[in-house]
Structure 1
Amino acid sequence: MNRAWWKEAVVYQVYWRSFKDSNGDGMGDLRGVIEKLDYIASLDVDIIWLNPCYTSPDVDNGYDISDYYSIMPKAGTMSDLEELIASAHERGLKLILDLVVNHTSDQHTWFKESRSSRTNEKADWYIWRDGVKGTPPNNWRSYFAPSPWTWDETREQYYFHSFASEQPDLNWEHPAVRQAVYTMMRWWADKGIDGFRMDVINLIKKRATYDDVADPLELSYLGNQPGIHEFLQEMHQEVLAGTDLFTVGEIPFVGPEDGLLYVGEERNELRTLFHFEVADDMETMDLPRFKQIQKRWYEALYPSGVASQFLNNHDHTRQVTRFGSERYRVESAKLLGLMLHTLPGIPYIYQGEEIGMTGIRFSDPESYQDVAFRNQYAERIAAGESPGTVLSSMQLRARDNSRTPMQWNTDQSAGFTIGTPWMAVNPNYRDINVEAAEQDPHSVLAFYRQLIDLRKTHPVMVYGVYRDLAIQDPYLYVYERVLDGVVWRIVLNVHDEPVTTTFGLPEEQLILTNYETADINRLAPYEARLYQYEMP
């Protein structure tokens, strides 16, 4: 595998509205991020991924953009962002922004012009269709609503939206749309940002026809359509070629073989990608399935491409709650961290993951602010399901699980704000917070810093060949990374009961573990070990 700085990087995701409030209005902001840059730098990560802070009506927490060239007042000002970029660079940190170009807000001037008349210059910048006998053009669904079609009284047509009705999809078939996007991307690159996390980027290419589908609930018809690679190669040529910009594509509905088409180094599209065979498709940890997914992606991509490793972000429940154990919170948080940082690919840390923050289950559906949760909850209640059943079935996967404020200390609102937080703080902040973690040499935070230091000093962690030693075992995950005669063996008990093992190695070969004492032939609940030895 060719070596490159970005393959060796660790990415830290900042969901700014829940990170740090600098002015007491209860909402995190860019100045709050600036205040905490020294903390982020202390983790020794390389890249900050900042969620959207562009001007937006905020229907979908900033993913409904009404102006790509300005900053929403909730977040701050353009000067604040410029200072954040410069301050990050001073600390050796790169900063990437979300690129949201599958859709805009319905308040964007482009859409306002498009809906104004069928003869407007931008009439075809979005996807418009006539209804069929007064009903939407087809039987498709959107992610957030029963139908992806909304009737517009002004234009007297339906417009298409893969997400909320306030997020109309751009028509990427129109050359002027693509050029407008490329111009905007170059503008931000000139501002000094270091790349883009590309939101649902493989949805920009639509199906050739808008005919009904056999199963509207199986949403794969929304993305990964023929022609997507021509768009991405054009984007590369127009914006990315000859630069050192880091790009990661959010790529739903894609398996390993298709994944290589997006990230193969010779194809000139993206650096890396997020796939969702785990985060979207696996309700809780299914270890044999997880191991098969890792094996398939590694065999398909290596050595020509690189994937990303993550189990939680702003859209997915915190990993300890969903894939680990709150009973064994510290142990499972460390195990999941060790696993993601030693598997092939680029590891992502979602703010608070490094201290073992947990998800939250609100008992009142009104406490959930996420538009997807609200729409789906209302649809199911209207269909006759009981509120209690609907709520309990949606709590684990609700996106607000991961959006509660960052837990800095035991002060009011966990030190996130001196005002009323925009979303309730998890009550466990008195026990789980950065200040307490900094004082504990055995904390999850200390463990993450060790992991990142190992990645910086041991190329085997990045470039080593991967081999699974126990792929069928339902509780043990045992694999090795091998490079230039150096072997790392990772032994994980992904289970809340002790298990016996034959994969342990002598104590002198143990580099890192999440338990203070170890039995070579027995692993405690969620015990994780990293060994090193040299090939004979």
Structure 2
Amino acid sequence: MSNLAIQAQEIRQTEKSSWWKNAIGYQIYPRSFKDSNHDGIGDLNGIRQKLPYLKELGVDFMWINPIYASPNIDNGYDISDYQAIHEDFGTMEDFQVLLKEAHALDLNVIMDLVVNHTSDQHPWFLEAKKSLDNPYRDYYHWADATKELPPNDWQSFFGGSTWTYDETTGQSYFHVFAKEQPDLNWKNPKVRHEIYQMIRWWLDLGIDGFRIDAISHIQKEPWDFEITDNQWAPFMNVAGIEAYLKELKAIFNEYNVMTVGEASGVPHQEAAAWTGDHGYFNMIFELEHCERIGEIGQQKGSILHLKHSLNQWQTSLADSGWNALYLENHDTPRSVSVYGDNSPEAAKALATVLLLLKGTPFIYQGQEVGMTNYPFNSIEEINAADTIHFYQTLLEQGKMTTEALAIAVNWSRDHSRTPFQWEDALHGGFSTTEPWLKVNENYRMINAAQKDLESSSIFHHYQALIRLRKQTDALIHGKFELLFPEHPTVFCYTRTTETEQWLILVQLDRKQTIVSFPDSWDYSKWEEIMTTADVKPLKQQMSLSNFEAHIYRKKTV
């Protein structure tokens, strides 16, 4: 075989093993996706029913939030059995059928891997609590304490101390999330062995990869570590974590699977060490771009910060590594409410920005039809434990009920967890019975069935963007460059290869604004390929308004 033939073969093999670079992901929050057995809770067979919908949209894989056995203190992120399916969602047989049918449609399935902590109902923790010398004691973090005086003053992500006192053994156990989610002790090789066996079990079952939850928290500082400026520093991307991540990577490398780590606390400067050919994961979810501005209780997303942050990540991973792209997920409010005005125009504009950046885009369920934040009227409508805790804290601080509710729900995770709006029918077509969380009343106008009634629907815009991306090498592998970095509302960037250049020009506001491109450009060579508004030939000076988006192409050879 000639050298050229060998090189071509190596390139094909590399592309095959990096299938996720050309893919579009779709995140499913199963409890709120589709209820098939009429109990008000979404389930695995509901997902199966909607596989043709995902195929029609054009996505390549789905990331399914936790479906494992769980007491559901944190909606499945408190796992009591890693190798069992929660009865709300169905059975392991249901999952295997889902996996088979998804693969038959060329849809890959990515699972959530939650290994920073377990549920306090997991058999390991139930054993660990029995005595100081129990064989499972060292599976978790314990320290001497009294009920009144914890080992240190570290605070958990869900509010309150990271320590909970155990009367039986006279020690406290550590948890960075809820007290019902004790952290695993990764220093214990037996723990890692158990975790690695479980990972291989799922991969051998045939799944196509993992989104690894809270992975940057598995290493902890010594308990006497003193916090200075960052209260999360004792358990966020702590030195020494790399040893465990390398072990995980070695397992993932045995399989042709996709991995994306939730890497809270990993700055863009360290991104290349975490992702890419020499990193721990194929890509990571960063949290730097999720900043809010405005009066407390009425906060919105910062478009300027969004641009700056995404630009830093695009630049940091330009030559090494790969971005995981998202604007919303199960832990954030709806992007069309956060960065827009809940309108179809805003939804299409944001889709244009997201889907043409360099990286693998993740669409969160309902994003492709423009689902919005929910207008919560009372704390009884809330399920998220952290929102309820925040609300109660605000009341204790002296806030009135109305003010406390407005502040607490402003950025609540439950905005994105309301049931999927499938059609203009009872409960939005999600279920025939009262759902576990209320359906937004705007389902009558905002629903997936609109795609069959409106050729210009948000769904069809997503569909067109996905097709365009998959057909265009420059929109997958092309170099990224941000234009007008300080403009408060215009998000404009180019994607460039040796043969062509693309310009994505989006106004993320209703107001009119004007941007000016260089005099030296030959504007006659630019062709408009897609727009959400009236066709506008590219000119040196462009007037933009009403969330309009334009996509231009210039052939360079």
Question: What are the within-5 Å matches in structure 2 for residues 498-517 of structure 1?
Answer: 498-503=512-517, 509-517=527-535
CA distance in structure 2 between the aligned counterparts of 1:393 and 1:125, rounded to whole angstroms: 38
Query: 1:225 maps to which residue?
Result: 238
Paired residues of 2:63 and 2:111 also in contact (CA < 8 A): yes
Query: 2:47 maps to which residue?
Result: 33
CA distance in structure 2 between the aligned counterparts of 1:525 and 1:339, rounded to whole angstroms: 15
Q: Does 1:452 align with 2:466?
A: yes
CA change 1:215–1:150 in 2 (3 A) is farther
TM-score norm. by structure 1 comes to 0.96
Q: Does 1:142 align with 2:163?
A: no
CA distance in structure 1 between the aligned counterparts of 2:195 and 2:207, rounded to whole angstroms: 16
CA distance in structure 2 between the aligned counterparts of 1:281 and 1:203, rounded to whole angstroms: 24
Question: What are the within-5 Å matches in structure 2 for residues 273-352 of structure 1?
Answer: 273-279=284-290, 284-326=300-342, 329-352=343-366
Query: 1:271 maps to which residue?
Result: 282
Residue type of the alignment partner of 2:301:
M
Tell me by how many angstroms 1:419 deviates: 0.9
CA distance in structure 1 between the aligned counterparts of 2:420 and 2:233, rounded to whole angstroms: 34
Paired residues of 1:279 and 1:312 also in contact (CA < 8 A): no
Tell me by how many angstroms 1:535 deviates: 2.5
Q: Give CA-to-partner distance per residue, 1:474-495, whole Å, 9 cap, x none.
A: 2222210001221000111122
CA distance in structure 2 between the aligned counterparts of 1:367 and 1:285, rounded to whole angstroms: 24
Residue type of the alignment partner of 2:255:
T
Tell me by how many angstroms 1:254 deviates: 1.6
Residue type of the alignment partner of 1:400:
D
Is the partner of 2:414 in helix, strand or coil? Answer: helix
Q: Give CA-to-partner distance per residue, 1:433-454, whole Å, 9 cap, x none.
A: 1111222110000000001101
Q: Does 1:235 align with 2:251?
A: no
CA distance in structure 1 between the aligned counterparts of 2:416 and 2:204, rounded to whole angstroms: 32
Paired residues of 2:227 and 2:233 also in contact (CA < 8 A): no
CA distance in structure 1 between the aligned counterparts of 2:37 and 2:437, rounded to whole angstroms: 16
Is the partner of 1:375 in helix, strand or coil? Answer: helix
CA distance in structure 1 between the aligned counterparts of 2:306 and 2:36, rounded to whole angstroms: 40
Paired residues of 1:52 and 1:62 also in contact (CA < 8 A): yes
Tell me by how many angstroms 1:243 deviates: 1.5
Query: 2:554 maps to which residue?
Result: 533
Paired residues of 1:322 and 1:396 also in contact (CA < 8 A): no
CA distance in structure 2 between the aligned counterparts of 1:183 and 1:60, rounded to whole angstroms: 24
CA distance in structure 1 between the aligned counterparts of 2:234 and 2:509, rounded to whole angstroms: 36
Report the aligned-residue RMSD.
1.8
Paired residues of 1:140 and 1:212 also in contact (CA < 8 A): no
CA distance in structure 2 between the aligned counterparts of 1:299 and 1:402, rounded to whole angstroms: 29
Percent identity, please: 38
Residue type of the alignment partner of 1:533:
K
CA distance in structure 2 between the aligned counterparts of 1:415 and 1:186, rounded to whole angstroms: 37
Tell me by how many angstroms 1:132 deviates: 6.1
Q: Does 1:249 align with 2:261?
A: yes
Q: Which of 169, 194, 197 is 2:208 aligned to?
A: 194
Gaps in structure 1 of 5+ consecutive residues: none
Is the partner of 1:120 in helix, strand or coil? Answer: coil
Q: Does 1:169 align with 2:183?
A: yes
CA change 1:376–1:215 in 2 (3 A) is farther
Residue type of the alignment partner of 1:49:
W
Is the partner of 2:237 in helix, strand or coil? Answer: coil
CA distance in structure 1 between the aligned counterparts of 2:528 and 2:119, rounded to whole angstroms: 53
CA distance in structure 2 between the aligned counterparts of 1:170 and 1:204, rounded to whole angstroms: 8
Q: Which of 520, 530, 545 is 1:524 aligned to?
A: 545
CA distance in structure 1 between the aligned counterparts of 2:290 and 2:210, rounded to whole angstroms: 21
Tell me by how many angstroms 1:220 deviates: 3.5
Query: 1:361 maps to which residue?
Result: 375
Query: 2:429 maps to which residue?
Result: 415
Residue type of the alignment partner of 2:544:
L
Tell me by how many angstroms 1:230 deviates: 1.1
CA change 1:440–1:508 in 2 (3 A) is farther
Residue type of the alignment partner of 1:496:
R
Is the partner of 2:300 in helix, strand or coil? Answer: coil
Residue type of the alignment partner of 2:340:
G
Paired residues of 1:361 and 1:396 also in contact (CA < 8 A): no
CA change 1:506–1:319 in 2 (3 A) is farther
Residue type of the alignment partner of 1:319:
S
Residue type of the alignment partner of 1:266:
H
Q: Does 1:51 align with 2:51?
A: no
Query: 1:20 maps to which residue?
Result: 34
Paired residues of 2:208 and 2:257 also in contact (CA < 8 A): yes
CA distance in structure 1 between the aligned counterparts of 2:152 and 2:257, rounded to whole angstroms: 39
Q: Give CA-to-partner distance per residue, 1:241-265, whole Å, 9 cap, x none.
A: 2311110000111211122211031
CA distance in structure 1 between the aligned counterparts of 2:484 and 2:393, rounded to whole angstroms: 44
CA distance in structure 2 between the aligned counterparts of 1:67 and 1:196, rounded to whole angstroms: 17
Is the partner of 2:410 in helix, strand or coil? Answer: coil
Q: Give CA-to-partner distance per residue, 1:199-254, whole Å, 9 cap, x none.
A: 011101111344342457x32332100011111101122x2123111100001112
Query: 1:400 maps to which residue?
Result: 414
Residue type of the alignment partner of 2:286:
H
Q: Give CA-to-partner distance per residue, 1:144-172, whole Å, 9 cap, x none.
A: 12111111112211001111110000000
Paired residues of 1:438 and 1:445 also in contact (CA < 8 A): no
Gaps in structure 2 of 5+ consecutive residues: 1-10, 294-298
Tell me by how many angstroms 1:375 deviates: 1.6
Is the partner of 1:501 in helix, strand or coil? Answer: strand
Tell me by how many angstroms 1:133 deviates: 8.4
Paired residues of 2:64 and 2:110 also in contact (CA < 8 A): yes
CA distance in structure 2 between the aligned counterparts of 1:506 and 1:166, rounded to whole angstroms: 63
Q: Give CA-to-partner distance per residue, 1:305-328, whole Å, 9 cap, x none.
A: 0111111111100100011112xx
Q: Give CA-to-partner distance per residue, 1:112-141, whole Å, 9 cap, x none.
A: 111111111111100001126841111110
Is the partner of 1:116 in helix, strand or coil? Answer: coil
Residue type of the alignment partner of 2:313:
W
CA distance in structure 2 between the aligned counterparts of 1:141 and 1:469, rounded to whole angstroms: 40
Paired residues of 2:219 and 2:236 also in contact (CA < 8 A): yes
CA distance in structure 1 between the aligned counterparts of 2:445 and 2:303, rounded to whole angstroms: 29
